[in-house]
Structure 1
Amino acid sequence: MASYRDVAAKIRRDVDAGLWPVGKPIPGIERLAKLYEVARETAHRAVKHLVAEGLLYSEGRRGTFIRPPAPAPIVARDRHAYRDELGYFFDRGAQNWRGVGTPTQEVGVPPDDVADLLGVAHGAHVMIRDRAVGPPDAEHPLQLATSYLPMSLVGQLPVLGAAKTGPGGIYDRIEEHLDAAIEWEETVSSRPANDAEQQQLRIGAGLPVLVVTRVSRVGDMVVEVNCTRMPADRFAVSYEVQRDDTARWPREAERSE
């Protein structure tokens, strides 16, 4: 009798062969069970396996869909801040990306690790700005970005809590207000995607998200912490490796010979 892994392999083969179109739901569990001549539970486990693997994603009652192939080239973060007519951006490959859905702004409590970076007490309220972005005409986002801003700064600059912050966004408003340049530091990590991220990014529970945590400072003051999440299989971090003085060339021993 075929195992759920055998059925998963057959579904994967049929997906690769283009049996079902991307963007349309694949047949339901009952139809898959009949198609592959297996029990309903076996078909169900096979689909769950492929969702966890990342080939498929579920939209609840709407059905299970084939996950679109990864875009090429992979968007790479390269440790540079750029600027165009719309303001600062950090991914050259995503320069033309725009918002997907409606961004939100609310006062709330940040995660403890974000509170530590902001220098506020655990449980203290901050301004939280959520935004989802993707390529032009995208039906769902490929990145989720959440900005956390200290209420002390929002009190001085209320526009930071507004739906529209003007040309250049919050970074331009902060630099104008403080009359100083923002400096950024990013940390890249990964973790399992939570339920909301799985739903918004169309990924299964088995796929992690890449998390880029950006701390924005003006002098010694942290003015924002931004957490951007993206499917870990679709993004890469790219940067130039520079030599420290301890690794200079020619090597010290060779220069003395």
Structure 2
Amino acid sequence: MQSFAHQAALAIRNARLFQEVDAKNRELAAADRHKTHFFANMSHELRTPLNAVLGYSELLVDGLYGPLSDKALDALERIQINGRHLLSLINDVLDFTKIEAGSLTLSIQEYSMPAMIEQVVAAAASLAQAKDLALTTEVAEGLPVGQGDERRLTQVLMNLVGNAIKFTESGAVRVAATAAGGWFTVSVTDTGPGIAAADQGRIFDEFQQIDSSSTRKQGGTGLGLSIARKLVLLHGGRIEVESEPGSGAVFRVHLPVRASEEKQAA
């Protein structure tokens, strides 16, 4: 009877501990949901006035309110550059919170991979020219029509090309695309400093950046590659990196040519 009573007391204590742990887990889950909704709401609230600032600065540059001095135009250009950078950071946080909350939905439609790459390269051309980098493409002929969220896939490629240009001080950045067996393979190759093997496993994690002075100097949220990877996963694909320090890096995106309709909800 004493042994039974002792075992019963242990069982009751363990049950109480389990209930406490379960309650704490529910509280943490609720807090995490509140955090996600808070960041999403704040991102929306920050974007609205920032878009107004950028819009009015554009009108000033266009001379809608009269001619401006060279110093004023230079100041407005700095406002626009920093404003667009801030907007990109806010968009990263908003996308991340949507993915975390499971509320990001893909808009599945047909798209042209060559046209998408051309659009990304055109958008990034000025960045490459500013650093005197060659930005080239090598797109196979006769690529099939793809099916997926063109805007989100453009975001993925823009992130990869933008990063390649950002961390490459000399040389070139090349974007290539092929298709085989129902899959696209898109690669972004740079001649930058490369990525150590120890860092390659964590660069796709949230809020992670390579711990180097060059990375810290470039700034950013540390969310770009994480968001890119999750967007590719939502399409049923995968993203990988191949690199060695001092030998540049190659980021490869493998995408199904026809993304499944079932993959459209995060």
TM-score normalised by L of structure 1:
0.24
Task: Specify which structure has the higher proportion of helix.
Answer: 2
